[in-house]
Structure 1
Amino acid sequence: MLQKYSLFKSKTSIHYSHLLVIGLFLGNIAISQPDHYRFSKIPLTNTYNTDDYQGGIQNWDISRDSRGFIYVANNFGLLEYDGNSWRRYLIENNTRARSVFVDADNRIYIGGQNQIGYFEADAKGNLVFESLLGLLDEHDRNLEDIWKIVKYESNIFFCSYLGLVVYDGKTVRKLHHEVDYDLVFQVANGLYASSLSSGLAKWNGKSFSIIPGSHVLQDHEITAIVPYQNNSLLIFQKNGTVYHYRDGIFRRWNLPITDFLSNSLINKAILLENSNIAIGTQNNGIVILSQNGDVINHLTKGKGLTNRTVLALHEDQFNNLWVGLNNGICMVELASPFSVINEQSGLPGTGYCATLHDNKLYLGTSNGLFYQGANPNPITELADYQLVKNSGGQVYNVQHINTDLLLAHHAGAFLVEDDLATQFYDHTGTWKFENSIGDNRILAGTYDGFVIFKKVDGQYQVENELEEFSESSRVFEFAGDSILFMTHGYKGIFKIDFNKEKDRIRNISFYGKNKGLPSNILINVFGLGGNKLVFPAETGIYNYDAQQDTFVSDPEMGQYFPKEAHITAMAHDLSGNVFFLNDMELGYLERTQYGSYIKHTAAFTKIKPLLSDDLENIHVIDHQNVFFGAKEGFVHFNPSMKYLRDQPFRTFIRSIEATTDEDRMIYGGTGQLASDEPVSLSAYFSSLKFRFASPYYDGQDQILFQYQLENFEKDWSEWNTATEKEYTNLSEGLYTFRVRAKNVFGDISEEASFQLKVYPPWYRSKLAYGFYGLGLLVVFGASMLVLSMRHSYEKKKLTLRQKRELLRKENEIVEVSKKSEEQISKLRNDKLRSEIDHKNRELATTTMHLINKNEFMLQIRNAIKETSKSGSKDNFKKIIRDIDRNLSEDEGWEQFTKHFDQVHGDFLSNIKKDNPTLTPQEIKLCAYLRMNMSSKEIANLLNISVRGVEISRYRLRKKLDISRDTNLVDYMLEYS
């Protein structure tokens, strides 16, 4: 319906917000209403079918050992459940198991088809069956089915319809009486036996004696006996009759459901820890009775159970009720504060609102408004939630306003009276009502804004449609007399200021990111009592600061939630406790006497997946009844019920298996190993696998484990849900495997540990090392003998060789001396030749310069002679030009460079090659610097001033990329 509506109603925020529909009416509940009332609800259950436990369909009996492991007598043998996985054990001859009993020593007694015996752990912790049938006299071995096993004092009684068998720990004998007894019942300090022919008998230490007056029990099978008030007994018969036995008198216990029990047939009955009585029937599931005989709950097929035939009942240490069914096994969480109200209770649809009015519980869902009167009969009325007439369809809110019950519906607004809803506003879409405007007037939020209704002569009429505001108004709260805050899922916050009469809107203000909020979307407003409003935003919780006209972070509430959490639902009770739902957690803040809060979330983890993600809602009825809107109906929470958490919380190693060529079971998970010494393990295995479990049945899916293998791992692992750990290629050494669990409440279990020793392979064993040592000694001794003989022989050879070597060395020394003298002479000659060559090159260079200058001087002389003859001024100018040309002429430069490179190892050629950007002038400068000439000498040679030389040196330094710290002359001298 919501999706269809979104096609034509664009203003609604149905698909864009995850806001709370508040149905809190605590302040308006009449004081005269009773503190306690009952309504149909179903406890949380876990169902196990044949695929889960890999056994037969029928489960005839259930027991538990001291560890908390569950044992079930099944058609295919014995079933064992450790909180994580099921195991199945076969009985001798593969007979069906009909009964099971676990004693204080964890010995598991089994009764089957003509079979009695027990399972006990062997030396490796594996359960092994030991039959006791062979200890009976041969003529007593025809027992047929063993339907019940009871321990009384030191004796174990095996019960069949063909007689009773007693096992005292050593011998097995069949009891022979004149009366045929079938089932035995251990109650308080007494042991009782039933007989179809004689009634009820009591054990006197040696045999059973008929109780006087018990003939009233004849002809009908007794299926259970439970202790009752003032040391009396309740005796349940198969036909549904219940007798009260007290002070030697048997009286019928008249119950309102006697006829129901007669038609249902009683299979089992047990006294629960809270003194209630659980009755398992053949045809109609389970009935829970109070001590007064009132029906507290009824579970059957389609109502909490998957089958209506109950064969076995057992209450575990956490007050969970284990039910053996004709097809499957069910665990009912009777002690849990959570239960569900859904279609199995007769309530269809997704849950949106809840309230109590005139002692009737009203629940609004996507299918309409349903109600249930006070103290319904859960036996005779299965679908006990009835639809209020005219309310079919999407319900948003049902509220107790003044003395009336008003229904906010997709179809409009309705007045609800008992089982009839009368429409008084037929416009599509009413979200919620608010009665703070007084004078018999109420304000309603609709798909199109707000409407004011006024009650006239018992009828509600439209007084005013506030056309000034047309936004879809689902979440709103009054702050004071005339200020209303309305939050829109994807638009922000609207503050609406009404006039004094509250019949007109005087002003509308918008608040969003510009007013201190993190964004304009996903903002809610909730009233938490005492005129306190909180505004959970997309992230964080905010308050309105009227003086600054802005929103500020709420320091009180914000500290209890993650900063990134988005709160979608909040509600409070009269004690100030605050229930909340956000995208990360679910729970409540418990108000302390000091005004602070204690946060509770762990217990709620398992129900969070059940809750609806559409218009999330929480409704508080009173201190015992809180409703959370669920995908199917509601989850009910009773805060007054406290979890039973004082039971031992332990972790157990369930198996240890080594993988070799063939898998080897080291430890089967039951009992203690025969020796206190570490288990020995040879090195020839590829992996070692540990399996572990914790029999903690509350939130089984959320049990976390942490493990460590000492001497292999330095620290504990991270918490995870894995129930096994495998290690490969462990080297030799002593190891201790440790494992522990953490439950949904954050409690850490007792630690389980297992010590084992890995032996080295044979070639690294002590014996092998002994052989290695002995071998080394033998090899060492033989080696020393051989070495000694070789030493003598080698000594002789060495003496002769030394003499020969000395002679050879003397000859070599003489020869080397001669060669050395020749080499020294050669080196001296080479040095002298090098010096001569160097001097020759210098001489050639100097001669070349002199010749050049002489030639130039001759030219000048000739020119002067010619000029003196002619006396021409132009000739003098020509002479000057010739002189200048000679000074700058480079004709002899190539000859100079050739000789210069010969002397200086191709200096000019290399520097040209490495620095092609150098000019001829700069190359000459490099040559002069290489010759370590002064600036003045260089100036004369280059025909420039000394200042010009300095400038040329600077430019040369830049082109060669030489730092100022490097001496330019040294650089040229070292250049090669």
Structure 2
Amino acid sequence: MKSLVLFVLPMLMAAITQARQLIGAPSILHYTKQQYAGGGQTWDMDMDRHGILYFANNEGLLTFNGQNWKVLPVPNHTNLRSVRVGKDGRIYTGAQDDFGYYLPDENGLLRYTSLKPLIPSGEREFADIWNIVCYNDAVFFRSNNKIFSYKDNAIRVYPAPGEWRLLCNTPHGLYAQDAREGLMKFVSDNWRVVAPAMASQKLLITAVLEGKQDTLLVFTLKNGIFKLYNQQLFPFNTPVNEALQTDRIYCAKEWDNDQLLLGTAEGGCYILHKNTGALIQKFGIREGLQHNSVRRIFADNGRNIWLALDNGIDMIRYNSAIKQIHPDQHQYLTTYAARVFNRQLYIGTSDGLFVTPLQEHTDLSFQDNQFQKVAHTNGQVWSLATVGEDLLMTHHEGAFRINGPAAYPLFKGTGCWLFLPQQARTLIGCYNGLRTMGAALSPVRQVNLLFESLRFLTAEQDSVIWASHPYRGVYRIVLERDTTLRYTLYTQQQGLPSSYNNFVFRVRGRMVVATSSGIYEFDPIQQRFVPSAWLFPILGNTAVQYLAEDATGNIWFVSGKMPGVVDFHQPSLQKPYSIVHFPELKGMIVSGFECIYPYNEENIFIGGEKGMYHINYKKYKQPKGSPTVMISQVNARDSLLFSGYLPASAAMLKKLPNAFASFHFEYAAPSFGNNMEFSYKLEGFDGDWSEWSARTEKDYTNLPHGKYAFSVKARDNLGNISKAASYAFQILPAWHQTTLAKSIAVLLGLVLIWCCYRLFVAQQQRHKKEQARLILHHEYEKERLQNDKLAADIQFKNKELAITTMHLVQRGKLLFNIKEELLQTIQKITPSPLPSFKKVLRLFDEAEENTEDWEQFSRHFDEVHNNFLSILKKRCSDLSTTDMKLCAYLRINLTTKEIAQSMGISVRGVETSRYRLRKKLEVPADVSLYDFLLSVQGV
């Protein structure tokens, strides 16, 4: 009976459950082989505890940390077929004729270790390793002819009974398919058959999952899905059974408790309800995939769906709060308006208005996609508005009322931008001015005097309207009658930052102008525009193109081609509000024709260039936990120091030579598909954290030696900040900067100082000696000069003495001659007058014997010759005056003749006197009398 229930109940449920496609499609990120620099085919994938993804690719092991791709070729240069991250942190891989594991070393670089040497001899021949399964404490590797079990550094081999075709595990068992025996289960270290019918029916199993009530879900390549209970197979009929058999199931994975993810060979990815098999959503090339052949499916921690394709890798952001709605069935029309009206969702596009009924879902993106085009709406739709009980549409061809499946014109002939409902009337901004319409939606009248294109309108009062023109300025319009108005144009001269790009809106019951420099309001007292007292401090002078207020008072805006919201119900940073941007939609909205329709907190519609974007803001702002950040690479001088496959803090402190002064850091946050910002700091160099930036790399150059720690943290657009990741390193000092070198330098310095001191002392001594020598030389020179002077004086006085002597000699000679002449003359006179001249002759004799001259001469002589005569007289007291004169004349080196004349004797008398003088002085015979007299000077 239980078997019957298992067989019949799914068929009945499948019959009443229709295949469905949701209107909200998650965004799909594409990674091409050009981006990850690998081969087109990717066979398997897994993720480690740090958030790094690993892919088995034809070119080797691909890794992705959310920012950077890396390729690690297989050591034997073959294709990589499988990859699995073990509980021990190893990344097990299977290639052709080899399998093993990668493990990061102390520098975060993955190193490969082959397990093939552990295989028993004789069992080492095998082909591709297609599956890797971690089960209990062992790791199993499947080739076509053998399954290898690796445990406790030993390998056990399980040969195939026929051919191993599958290896997989569930929470309650390890399963394998053999071509001859069928489905087998690993029990007590052996394989036991649990479904032999698989072999008899020649079913090729691609996945086995746990079902309910002790059943297994068995997925086959060409025959659809089966339920296995008590070794019996029951077809699991689903609304997409035929499609699955045609598209062929490559892989399957249980997801989100009650859903199944299926990868097919030709139909892309299916999401089915696990119990009923009903189609929830399908993704293929038409839905945005790169390829329809899905070889492996993986769901990461953020509930993103990863698809390993036959050509490329795709990520479906299925859990994202932002979805994309394509009302035109994949024509990707640009959307300009949205409105929920009478339990239907209307979306206006560049080619008509589309509508779909709504079911009981608070998040409207989970509605069934039943969009139909509203009749008579072909062409450009600009806006939708609810007036009373009617839904109105502005169109390139006029204004229309929507009634059921069709649109009916209110007037045609000119394009209309928007409706502005008022109590007494409804205003219509048109291509060529303003029109009014009564409460009954008729008649439509042209208002005269202003024929500008009026795309933005808002009311201050029923009779006072504000309008903006993107190239004119802002108009204040006063309606005097339904067909007449007067207006005032305000431009830059009246306080607006510019006369261009001004847009009027009504927020919190007030007219505001979104400008290129923030939000402005009109001051009626000054008759000028001034910065808004409450919105300008919030948004600042940022250029704003669009404003819309939701039912809770939050302000939605568009700035810089990116939507955002000022949330007054979520304070942050000591402010009564928070500003949330949506970087996922930056550049995707319709620039110049922005549209935000905040229906409620779970349904925010934003016009896009390709379809309509839907934001479940309630889900978007829910806490998702702090993001994580990792340092993915560190380079210095073109050398790889750290490769990021383990936390940077776990790396050993890297000590680097002084030449490593320039560093390049790369970092990432493995929050796939999210927009993150980063802030970094290099401790030991930077004073504080850097400004937040989307950059994922930083360079430092010319760092001095010392210890450093590079830290980085990540922040998501909701303001959640991660813990910092750090990488510590030390730049060693140059040889001349080491303690030893400094000690040696100090020692050498001291030695140098000592040597300099010794040199200085020696120099001082030499200087003193030189000074003494100079002084001595100076004294010597001074004495020499004095002696020279004395010698000169002596020579001069000798000359004077000689002159005086010669004068005395001449005078004596003259007196002698006069005396002789006088005597001769007297003798000739007779009688002789001699007696008369005796007195005269006596005077001559007195003159000759005058001692005064001698005394004067001797005194001067002693002054010149250091008391020569006095000393000579003391030495020989018996010297006569004549002897003294002779000594003096000899001392001044007079000739014998000059001495004779001076003394008034003959030459011979001089010789005789010299002889007598030698005897008195006792001059040795071998010494000349002159030399002896010279020696007397030194006595």
TM-score, scaled to structure 2:
0.71
1:753 is aligned to 2:711: no
**Superposition pairs of residues 107-122 of structure 1, within 5 angstroms:** 107-122=90-105
Q: Which amino acid aligns with 1:493?
A: Y
Q: Cα distance 1:251–1:219, how it changes in 2: closer, same or farther (>3 A)?
A: same
Post-superposition offset of 1:120: 1.3
1:612 is aligned to 2:590: yes
Match of 1:304 in 2: 288
Query: Which of residues 37, 46, 51 is equivalent to 2:29?
Result: 46
Query: Which of residues 732, 738, 744 is equivalent to 2:711?
Result: 738
Post-superposition offset of 1:483: 5.1
Post-superposition offset of 1:228: 5.2
Query: Which of residues 413, 416, 419 is equivalent to 1:427?
Result: 413
Larger mean CA deviation between 748-757 and 87-96 belongs to: 748-757
Aligned partners of 2:43 and 2:295 also within 8 Å:
yes
Q: Distance in 2 between matches of 1:590 and 1:797?
A: 95
Match of 1:97 in 2: 80
Larger mean CA deviation between 166-175 and 207-216 belongs to: 207-216
**Superposition pairs of residues 917-928 of structure 1, within 5 angstroms:** none
Q: Cα distance 1:462–1:76, how it changes in 2: closer, same or farther (>3 A)?
A: same
Mark the runs of 5 or more structure 1 residues left unpaired by the alignment: 1-36, 819-976
Match of 1:843 in 2: none
Q: Which amino acid aligns with 1:62?
A: M
Match of 1:253 in 2: 236
Query: Which of residues 624, 628, 640 is equivalent to 1:665?
Result: 640
Match of 2:380 in 1: 394
Which deviations, in whole Å up to 9, do the C-alpha atoms of 1:851-872 show, x marking residues without a partner? Answer: xxxxxxxxxxxxxxxxxxxxxx
Q: Distance in 2 between matches of 1:402 and 1:136?
A: 80
Match of 2:39 in 1: 56
Query: Which of residues 693, 704, 725 is equivalent to 2:678?
Result: 704
Report SS of the residue matched to 1:689.
strand
Q: Distance in 2 between matches of 1:465 and 1:520?
A: 26
Q: Which amino acid aligns with 1:608?
A: K
Which deviations, in whole Å up to 9, do the C-alpha atoms of 1:629-655 show, x marking residues without a partner? Answer: 223333221223236764553333333
Q: Cα distance 1:545–1:229, how it changes in 2: closer, same or farther (>3 A)?
A: farther
Match of 1:127 in 2: 110
Which deviations, in whole Å up to 9, do the C-alpha atoms of 1:733-761 show, x marking residues without a partner? Answer: 33333333344344433223233333344
Q: Cα distance 1:281–1:526, how it changes in 2: closer, same or farther (>3 A)?
A: same
Q: Cα distance 1:621–1:230, how it changes in 2: closer, same or farther (>3 A)?
A: farther
**Superposition pairs of residues 589-668 of structure 1, within 5 angstroms:** 589-592=566-569, 599=577, 601-642=579-620, 646-647=624-625, 649-659=627-637, 663-668=638-643
Report SS of the residue matched to 1:92.
coil
**Superposition pairs of residues 246-645 of structure 1, within 5 angstroms:** 251-273=234-256, 275-291=258-274, 293-341=277-325, 345-357=329-341, 359-372=343-356, 387-436=373-422, 443-453=427-437, 462-467=443-448, 469-478=450-459, 484-489=465-470, 490-497=472-479, 522-528=501-507, 534-537=512-515, 539-541=517-519, 554-562=532-540, 564-583=541-560, 586-592=563-569, 599=577, 601-642=579-620
**Superposition pairs of residues 16-165 of structure 1, within 5 angstroms:** 39-165=22-148
Q: Which amino acid aligns with 1:406?
A: L
Report SS of the residue matched to 2:242.
helix
Post-superposition offset of 1:485: 4.1
Q: Distance in 2 between matches of 1:780 and 1:466?
A: 102
Q: Distance in 2 between matches of 1:793 and 1:525?
A: 98
Q: Distance in 1 between matches of 2:533 and 2:301?
A: 42
Q: Cα distance 1:693–1:448, how it changes in 2: closer, same or farther (>3 A)?
A: closer
Q: Distance in 1 between matches of 2:219 and 2:713?
A: 43
Q: Cα distance 1:290–1:573, how it changes in 2: closer, same or farther (>3 A)?
A: farther
Aligned partners of 2:649 and 2:728 also within 8 Å:
no
Q: Cα distance 1:302–1:784, how it changes in 2: closer, same or farther (>3 A)?
A: same
Q: Cα distance 1:486–1:216, how it changes in 2: closer, same or farther (>3 A)?
A: farther
Report SS of the residue matched to 2:587.
helix
Post-superposition offset of 1:616: 1.4
Post-superposition offset of 1:587: 1.3
Post-superposition offset of 1:665: 3.3
Q: Distance in 2 between matches of 1:214 and 1:534?
A: 74
Q: Cα distance 1:400–1:266, how it changes in 2: closer, same or farther (>3 A)?
A: farther
Match of 1:834 in 2: none
Q: Distance in 1 between matches of 2:719 and 2:328?
A: 32
Report SS of the residue matched to 2:584.
coil
Q: Cα distance 1:370–1:82, how it changes in 2: closer, same or farther (>3 A)?
A: same
Q: Which amino acid aligns with 2:627?
A: F
Q: Distance in 2 between matches of 1:784 and 1:434?
A: 100
Match of 1:923 in 2: none
Q: Which has the higher contact order (CA 8 A, sep 6+)?
A: 1
Identity %: 28
Post-superposition offset of 1:778: 8.5
Larger mean CA deviation between 218-227 and 603-612 belongs to: 218-227
Q: Which amino acid aligns with 1:117?
A: G
Report SS of the residue matched to 2:538.
coil
Post-superposition offset of 1:63: 0.8
Post-superposition offset of 1:767: 5.8
Post-superposition offset of 1:326: 0.9
Q: Which amino acid aligns with 1:526?
A: F
Q: Which has the larger radius of gyration?
A: 2
Q: Cα distance 1:775–1:424, how it changes in 2: closer, same or farther (>3 A)?
A: closer
Larger mean CA deviation between 142-151 and 335-344 belongs to: 335-344
Q: Distance in 2 between matches of 1:155 and 1:346?
A: 47
**Superposition pairs of residues 191-270 of structure 1, within 5 angstroms:** 191-211=174-194, 219-227=202-210, 233-239=216-222, 241-244=224-227, 251-270=234-253
Q: Distance in 1 between matches of 2:784 and 2:563?
A: 102
Q: Cα distance 1:797–1:588, how it changes in 2: closer, same or farther (>3 A)?
A: closer
Q: Distance in 2 between matches of 1:274 and 1:546?
A: 62
Q: Cα distance 1:521–1:715, how it changes in 2: closer, same or farther (>3 A)?
A: closer
Q: Which amino acid aligns with 1:91?
A: V
Q: CA RMSD in A?
A: 4.5
Which deviations, in whole Å up to 9, do the C-alpha atoms of 1:310-352 show, x marking residues without a partner? Answer: 1122222222222211111122212221123459952443321
Match of 1:804 in 2: 776
Q: Distance in 2 between matches of 1:567 and 1:50?
A: 39
Which deviations, in whole Å up to 9, do the C-alpha atoms of 1:927-963 show, x marking residues without a partner? Answer: xxxxxxxxxxxxxxxxxxxxxxxxxxxxxxxxxxxxx
Q: Distance in 1 between matches of 2:449 and 2:650?
A: 87
Match of 1:182 in 2: 165
Post-superposition offset of 1:781: 9.3
The count of corresponding residues between Structure 1 and Structure 2 is 762
Q: Which amino acid aligns with 1:689?
A: H
Q: Distance in 2 between matches of 1:395 and 1:324?
A: 40
Aligned partners of 2:45 and 2:55 also within 8 Å:
yes
Post-superposition offset of 1:492: 1.5
Post-superposition offset of 1:422: 4.0
Q: Distance in 2 between matches of 1:227 and 1:39?
A: 27
Aligned partners of 2:467 and 2:477 also within 8 Å:
yes
Q: Distance in 1 between matches of 2:291 and 2:427?
A: 50
Which deviations, in whole Å up to 9, do the C-alpha atoms of 1:368-390 show, x marking residues without a partner? Answer: 333445589xxxx9997554444
Post-superposition offset of 1:223: 2.2
TM-score, scaled to structure 1:
0.68
